[in-house]
Chains A and B, each alone.
Chain A
Amino acid sequence: MFHFFKKAKKANTQSKPQKNNDPIRSSLKHNTEHIKQLFSYGTNKDFSYRDLIAKYNQKEMSLFYYSSIVNGDKIYEAIIRPLLEAEGNELKNVVTVESLTEIKDFDEVIEHINSGKAILFQEGTAIAFSIDVAQFQFRSIGKAENESAIKGPQEAFTESLNVNISLVRKRVHDKQLITESKQVGKRSKSEVNFLYVSDLVNDDILNNLKKRLDEINTDSVRNVELLEQYIEERPYSIFPSIHYTERPDKAASYLEDGYIIILMDNSAACLVVPVTFWSFFHAQEDRYLRFLYGNFTRAIRLFAFYLTTMISATYVGITNFHSEMLPPDLLLAITASRERVPFPLIFEVLIMEVAFELIREAGIRIPNPLGPTIGIVGALILGQAAVEANIISPIIVIVAAVSGLTSFAIADVSINFTVRITRFIFIAAAGTYGMFGLAGAFLVWFMYAASLKSFGVPFFSPLAPYFKSPGDTVFRKAIKNEIWRPGNLLPKDLRKKRDSTSK
């Protein structure tokens, strides 16, 4: 199936934007003119420039920046004022900013201005100075809304790369934590940062990731949500192969296990690679809760997983093909409630499942103030009214509600879709051949999942194939007994617990 992807890639023709490899000249006038033309000065409202004569060497200078993405106070305090007032022999001794880079050509000039730097040209010098005064606007750090936890840190990533890195570094005090970056996008260049602990990470995985980042051939990749789709192996697969989380504490714990996390500006989340089924199944809170409580949640979630994928399909399969299996009273109750329903049972189930999906989709898209209405309308129309109108039988409402509600126990966005799509596949299978069809469909589905690899790591490892690991798969061990890192990643340092005497 994935050869489609390859084909699509080849078809992507090499249309790069024109290059501005002109070197910077020593004539200020020329430079100024050139840059004004490049940025359409005058039309482009927020592109600003300022001429001045520096006091320390009495030379003419020009400063260019986007007023919307720089800190105006800083420009005044750290650049203009020192240049106008301070004495000194060299530029770097005059301006009071923390970073000052020399750049040589206009290509770089454009890039720097776009990323919120101020560019200073000086009469008679063939280089420009880039001064970091960027101030992009972003949301302040908020609560993790989609992956909420009762016990545990509440901070979430926000749409700023630096803040996000700071959130991670705050948690991982390891000098080997490397933040490497790569530029993606041909027209609008964005920086992709990937973080890893260099003496843990498996270099094969790291190189694989770098290769995939290099292979991205597109005009722009704005955020990690889009990046995810550029670097994944199987774009048509029903299973996700990259993990997406908004919790810095989760990211930190992945880092410490030898995973790589990917951050970008403009995304309040990070990507984690490689991934296994368990990363989707776990919630970070499982680890914050005590051993027994954490495992209890896991058990509940496993059950929810089963219910949400299977209950509707099982119901269809059993009632349509294996009615002998139902206890007589239940059988009679269902039969009685179906006496006046005009549709076949599978149709009833599908009506309810689709209705539930509709409510769900509408609930996400609905403007906030209208939010509460959707619940009432949905429950009212779909539940009571449909039953009273004899369109569906009351038991279906229970089945659909259980299968819908349990799907919320699966927090991860991607796997949530997997599960919801799977549910419909299973209903179809059960509707055609009862439990035989369902068992067959499940097996094909499961073996497909087992054959997946994310960056070379099998989807169900470390359970099968077996690897030394913290034992954190379906259930987890007591934290004190976790000795190994996940061996399925082949980390450089497998042992997690240093002290071998304590047992």
Chain B
Amino acid sequence: MKRMICISLLLMFLTGCYDKVELEQQSYNVAIGVDQTDKEGTYEFTFQITNPEVGTTSGGGSDEEPNETVTTNGSDILTAMNTVNSFVSKRMTLDHTKVIVISEELARSGDFLQIIQAASRTTQIRRATQIVVSKESAAEFLNNIKPKMETRTHKYFQYMITRATQTGIIPDASVHRFFQITEGDADLFLAIYATNEHEEKKGEGYEDQYVAGEIPQEGGSDTQFMGSAVFKEGKMIDTLDGQDTRIAHVLDYTLDMDELLSTYPDPIRPEYRVAADYIQKTPAEVEIQYNKNKPTKIDVTVSFQIEVLAIPSLVNYSQNSAHQELLRKAIITDLESKANKLIKKTQEEYGSDPFYWSLFIRDQFIDVPAYEEADWNKKIYPNADITVSFNLKRLAFGKMLNDTNLSEVRD
């Protein structure tokens, strides 16, 4: 007995250490970029590796770069990781990868699905990793990310994406969601759209009617996260601007959004707009009535509240009930028209919806074969008869009763 214990203990000591890696022998990758190359089946992979010594007090390395961005060619992420080791000294781990960046070019080519599937075979890439589509090449995008405040890029990605998702201007685009929607073969997947290249939009846009790169900006980091890239069956087909992304948030009950500050047309003085906080406590209610041979009826009801933040026109909406009624109508009409516009676009151009509505029709089928036969993407959604109604539950005016009358002040 005693001898056996000794032997097994010895064995344990002899055998261990197979997977043992010292921390400093690893390098930690925070972002992966994927680009297309001229050759089919070969892609350009960019890895952004953090430098652990930057941002610590342990001295040394203070004049080193906060991260190292390297690019190489390969057929998939894992083998590329090995190739990278010819010029990166340490073993690379992807466990802390926050984002996967793909260039718009690659996304539109449809090869992305293969790449990401190969990656999901390893345990290293987490399902919560976010998918970002960059307007320029991913290598360029990652190389040009220069956060002004955060020393380490993983923090930058984390804060940036969390915050932007809260405001609804970019969607939650985790790898998990990508697989659910793409493999589910219904609905559209929205990925985060971002860029470093600025190209100001002509004409006027309101606060969220931009996609990344179009937002007028001065100072700060060049990188903009705004809007979303639409994926159908793993292939990018279009971009949505911030506003449409927000509408998608409103209509999709699987997406959460904390804050939606937006402006609405002022019904009395149309040259101004009313700023308001849109609050949605309950997810949109979707009712689908499936008809096999005629268009399916989809009724969507959104209950929401509005808290008015600013009325630049100084019209007295808070105390005048007739005015208030006008404002109510104006907000509802505005939202409905935006939503209808988006829905129409998705029905006609995309042939599927980015709202995950296919979930609501499933309970009308008894089993999977029947459901797949009905074909949401091809048959049901494009022909569906959709009505969206917004239901304003409460209109509040914040803590001020009324605005100061400008003419009185200036008198």
Q: Are A333 and B56 in contact, with the CB atoms below 8 A?
A: yes
The interface residues of chain B lying within 8 Å CB-to-CB of A276 are: none
Q: Are B1 and A336 in contact, with the CB atoms below 8 A?
A: no
- Bound-state Cα–Cα, A336 to B56, Å: 7
Closest CB in chain A relative to B51 CB, distance in Å? 8
Q: Are B20 and A336 in contact, with the CB atoms below 8 A?
A: no
Known: A323-B95, A328-B28, A329-B152. A339 touches B53 (CB 8 A): yes
Known: A331-B28, A336-B53, A337-B56. A323 touches B21 (CB 8 A): yes
Q: Are B12 and A339 in contact, with the CB atoms below 8 A?
A: no
Closest CB in chain A relative to B150 CB, distance in Å? 11
Contact with A along B52-70 (1 / 0, CB 8 A): 1101101011000000000
Q: Are A323 and B16 in contact, with the CB atoms below 8 A?
A: no
- Bound-state Cα–Cα, A339 to B12, Å: 28
The interface residues of chain B lying within 8 Å CB-to-CB of A334 are: 23
- Bound-state Cα–Cα, A324 to B2, Å: 37
Q: Are A331 and B23 in contact, with the CB atoms below 8 A?
A: yes
Docked complex: A106-160 residues within 8 A CB-CB of B: none
Q: Are A320 and B22 in contact, with the CB atoms below 8 A?
A: yes
Interface size class of B (residues with CB under 8 A): 20 to 34
The interface residues of chain A lying within 8 Å CB-to-CB of B2 are: 1
Q: Are B53 and A432 in contact, with the CB atoms below 8 A?
A: no
Contact with A along B12-26 (1 / 0, CB 8 A): 110111011111101
Q: Which A residue's beta carbon lies closest to that of B56?
A: A336
Q: Are A345 and B17 in contact, with the CB atoms below 8 A?
A: no
Q: Are B23 and A345 in contact, with the CB atoms below 8 A?
A: yes
The interface residues of chain B lying within 8 Å CB-to-CB of A437 are: 12, 16
- Bound-state Cα–Cα, A295 to B396, Å: 49
Q: Is A384 an interface residue (CB 8 A)?
A: no
Q: Are B28 and A332 in contact, with the CB atoms below 8 A?
A: yes
Give the residue of B12, B13, B15, B52 whose beta carbon is less than 8 angstroms from that of A333. B52
Q: Is A170 an interface residue (CB 8 A)?
A: no
Q: Is B346 an interface residue (CB 8 A)?
A: no
Known: A333-B56, A432-B17, A437-B12. A344 touches B22 (CB 8 A): yes
Q: Are B19 and A332 in contact, with the CB atoms below 8 A?
A: no
Q: Which A residue's beta carbon lies closest to that of B15?
A: A432
Docked complex: B1-45 residues within 8 A CB-CB of A: 1-2, 12-13, 15-17, 19-24, 26, 28, 30
Q: Are A336 and B21 in contact, with the CB atoms below 8 A?
A: no
Give the residue of A339, A428, A429 whose beta carbon is less than 8 angstroms from that of B24. A339
The interface residues of chain A lying within 8 Å CB-to-CB of B30 are: 328
- Bound-state Cα–Cα, A329 to B154, Å: 9
Q: Are B58 and A432 in contact, with the CB atoms below 8 A?
A: no
Interface size class of A (residues with CB under 8 A): 20 to 34
Q: Which A residue's beta carbon lies closest to that of B154?
A: A328
- Among the interface residues B30, B52, B93, which one has the most CB atoms of the partner chain A within 10 A? B52
The interface residues of chain B lying within 8 Å CB-to-CB of A339 are: 24, 52-53, 58, 60-61
Give the residue of B12, B15, B22, B52 whose beta carbon is less than 8 angstroms from that of A332. B52
Q: Which B residue's beta carbon lies closest to that of A394?
A: B58
Q: Is B50 an interface residue (CB 8 A)?
A: yes
The interface residues of chain B lying within 8 Å CB-to-CB of A434 are: 19-20
Q: B-side binding surface: helix, strand, loop or mixed? A: loop
Q: Is B329 an interface residue (CB 8 A)?
A: no
Closest CB in chain A relative to B409 CB, distance in Å? 50
Closest CB in chain B relative to A441 CB, distance in Å? 9
The interface residues of chain B lying within 8 Å CB-to-CB of A336 are: 52-53, 56, 58, 61
Q: Is B338 an interface residue (CB 8 A)?
A: no
Q: Which B residue's beta carbon lies closest to that of A236?
A: B2
Give the residue of B12, B15, B26, B61 whose beta carbon is less than 8 angstroms from that of A323. B26
Q: Are A323 and B23 in contact, with the CB atoms below 8 A?
A: yes
Known: A332-B52, A335-B52. A432 touches B12 (CB 8 A): yes
Q: Is B155 an interface residue (CB 8 A)?
A: yes
The interface residues of chain B lying within 8 Å CB-to-CB of A442 are: none
Q: Is A431 an interface residue (CB 8 A)?
A: yes
Q: Is A492 an interface residue (CB 8 A)?
A: no
Q: Is B96 an interface residue (CB 8 A)?
A: yes
Known: A332-B50, A339-B60. A321 touches B23 (CB 8 A): no
- Bound-state Cα–Cα, A336 to B24, Å: 7
- Bound-state Cα–Cα, A43 to B155, Å: 87
The interface residues of chain B lying within 8 Å CB-to-CB of A298 are: none
Q: Are B13 and A337 in contact, with the CB atoms below 8 A?
A: no
Closest CB in chain B relative to A318 CB, distance in Å? 10
Q: Are B28 and A338 in contact, with the CB atoms below 8 A?
A: no
Q: Is A193 an interface residue (CB 8 A)?
A: no
Q: Are A338 and B23 in contact, with the CB atoms below 8 A?
A: yes
- Bound-state Cα–Cα, A1 to B50, Å: 52
The interface residues of chain B lying within 8 Å CB-to-CB of A344 are: 22
Q: Which A residue's beta carbon lies closest to that of B14?
A: A432
Known: A328-B96, A336-B56. A428 touches B50 (CB 8 A): no
Closest CB in chain A relative to B27 CB, distance in Å? 9
- Bound-state Cα–Cα, A328 to B154, Å: 8
- Bound-state Cα–Cα, A376 to B190, Å: 61
Q: Is A433 an interface residue (CB 8 A)?
A: yes
Q: Are A335 and B24 in contact, with the CB atoms below 8 A?
A: yes
Q: Are A337 and B20 in contact, with the CB atoms below 8 A?
A: no
- Bound-state Cα–Cα, A429 to B23, Å: 18
Contact with B along A397-436 (1 / 0, CB 8 A): 0000000000000000000000000000000110111100
- Bound-state Cα–Cα, A433 to B20, Å: 8
Give the residue of B15, B56, B61, B96 whose beta carbon is less than 8 angstroms from that of A324. B96
- Bound-state Cα–Cα, A394 to B23, Å: 15
* Given pairs A328-B96, A432-B15, 17 additional interface contacts (CB within 8 A): A319-B23, A321-B21, A323-B93, A323-B95, A328-B30, A331-B23, A336-B52, A336-B61, A338-B23, A339-B24, A339-B60, A340-B60, A344-B22, A429-B12, A432-B12, A432-B16, A434-B20
16 intermolecular pairs with C-beta atoms under 8 Å apart: A1-B1, A319-B23, A321-B20, A321-B21, A323-B23, A328-B30, A328-B50, A328-B154, A329-B152, A331-B28, A333-B52, A333-B56, A335-B24, A339-B53, A432-B15, A432-B16
B residues in contact (CB < 8 Å) with A? 1-2, 12-13, 15-17, 19-24, 26, 28, 30, 50, 52-53, 55-56, 58, 60-61, 93, 95-96, 124, 152, 154-155
A residues in contact (CB < 8 Å) with B? 1, 319-321, 323-324, 328-329, 331-341, 344-345, 394, 428-429, 431-434, 437
3 closest pairs, A vs B, by CB? A432-B16, A324-B95, A335-B52
